[in-house]
Every structure is written in C-alpha cells, then in structure tokens.
Structure 1
Amino acid sequence: MARDFSRRHRVAEELKRELGFLIASQVKDPRVQFVSISDVDVSPDLKHAKVYVANFDVTAAEDSAKRAVAGLHAAEGFLKRELGKRLRLRVMPELRFVEDTTEREAQKLDSLIASAVAEDESRTQDATDDGDEDGTHGAS
C-alpha cells in the first residue's frame, strides 16, 4: 500500500514538472499565458490525472482561467504526446484540466477580512468619539 502511494506521488510530481515546462515553453495558445500547474492528482490505477491549473494573473477577469482550461484542453493531444516522449510510463494518464481557484478565493477572503477590520476600527473610533462628547457635555 505504501509503495502504491509512493508511485502515484512520484508520477504526479513528474507530470506536474513536465506539464509546467511544456506549457511554459511549447504551448503557443494565447489563452494559456500566465498559467501554472498548482497540483496533479493521479488515480490509483495511474490511468487518469486531474491537473489543477492556476492563473498567475489574479487581477485578470474570472473567465480567463476558464479560457486557459479550454486552451489546455485543446492542447491535450500535443501535451500527451510530448509527455509520452519524456516520461517512461506504460500508460499515459488521461489529462483532465480543472481550474484551481484557491488563490482567487484567498484574495477575496483577505479583502473581506480587511474590510471587516476597517469597519470594526471605525465603529470603535465612533464609539470612543461619542463617549468623549458625552463626558465633556456633563463637565460643562
């Protein structure tokens, strides 16, 4: 069992490394600019690989990642052929590209937290200012 996990892990890491290189240097599709492979999950039988694709340009429109996945899907045959030349596997896994939204969601959460902290600070400041005014009116 441990050997099976080790093999899956090694194959996934090799796929991740080679796909990253091929996408950066060989794929000419403009939809695939600023794309990185964030993770690869290989099935236990090594016949299927789910490739998580992240977009470097997190300021780009949200549909740019979907376009990148479509571009990678269009280049799937080329990528499998090149991987077959580079990797020594009996069966090349079927590639399924999936958008990795972790970074975009992390930025949304970060902005929500920042706005909540700013709102809390403004409420605290308003409460302090209101308390000072009430105290000065009573002393007059």
Structure 2
Amino acid sequence: MRKNSIKNTRINSEVQRELANIIRGEIKDPRIHPLTSVVTVEVAPDLKTCKAYISVLGDQEAQGKTLEGLNSAVGYIRRQLAKNLNLRNTPEIRFIMDQSIEYGVHMSKLINENHVEESREDDEDDRDE
C-alpha cells in the first residue's frame, strides 16, 4: 500500500478525529492544556506506528507539560482508539509537538509590523514634499 493511498488518507483522518475526541473529552490529566489540538496524524501503511502532531496554545512550560501528560496516557489513548476504531492493528502512538501554527502567527506579526513601518515612512515622505 502506498503512503498516500486513499485508504491511508482515510485512516489518518479517522485516527486524527478520534485522537482529538479522546484528548478533549476523556483524559482527565491536569497537565494537558485545555487548548490542545491534533494538527495532523501520519499512520504507517502497516498500521503499526502513528505520529500525532500536537499544537498547544500556550507557553513552553504548558507545551512541555502537555506532551508529558499525553506520553503518560498513551496506553489509555491507544486502548480507547482500539475500542472506537475497527482497525486490524492499533498503531503505537508517538506525540510530536508541532510549532507550525506558532511560527505562522509569529511571521504574520513580523510582516504586519514591517507593513506598518513602511506605511509610516511613506506618510513621512509625503509630508516632506
């Protein structure tokens, strides 16, 4: 089975949806930040392993604690995943912190600051003339 097959894409989206539901509604660990989202999931074609990219809206400490909490609850999450999804194998989950949203917000902020500075310079040039 190819990595980008329709079946694999469908499995990725189902696992992502279920992981998000489990993290949001079933885990009671106080270390897990309430604004935690599952950005994307990559399940291996043999259904043995799964990389779950997690995004946390918060500081570095909240991200670290959330990752720690998720890693300690990985057995429970995998058991719930097996119960909710009918897969041949339940993948072993590895959580990875995804910084792409935070990076995008940072870059957008820099672009906006640069745009504001340029418009100020243009206004000053117009006044000088």
Question: 1:103 — aligned with what?
Answer: 101
Q: Normalised by the size of structure 2, how large is the TM-score?
A: 0.88
Q: How does 1:30-49 map to 2 (within 5 A)?
A: 30-32=30-32, 33-49=34-50
Q: Which of the pair is proportionally richer in helix? A: 1
Structure 2 alignment gaps of length 5 or more: none
Residues 1:123 and 2:121 aligned together: yes
Is the aligned partner of 1:6 residue 2:6?
yes
Counterpart Cα distance in 1 of 2:26 and 2:3: 33
Moved over 6 A (4+): none
Which letter does structure 2 place at the counterpart of 1:42? V
* Sequence identity percentage: 30
How far is 1:75 from its partner?
A: 0.5
For each residue in 1:48-67, what CA deviation from the matched residue of structure 2 results, as whole angstroms up to 9, or x when unmatched?
11101122x3xx21332232
1:40 is aligned with what amino acid?
V
Taking a change above 3 Å as real, the CA distance of residues 110 and 7 of structure 1, as seen in their structure-2 partners, is same
Measured after TM superposition, the shift of residue 43 of structure 1 is 1.3
Q: Does 1:64 align with 2:62?
A: yes
The DSSP-based 3-state class of the residue aligned with 1:113 is helix
Structure-1 residue corresponding to 2:55: 54
| Length-normalised TM-score, structure 1 | 0.82
The more displaced of 63-72 and 97-106 is 63-72
CA contact (8 A) 1:8 1:46 kept: no
Q: Which structure is larger by alpha-carbon Rg, 1 or 2?
A: 1
**Rounded Cα–Cα distance in structure 2 between residues aligned with 1:83 and 1:119:** 50
- Name whichever of 60-69 and 117-126 sits farther off: 60-69
How many residue pairs match? The answer is 128
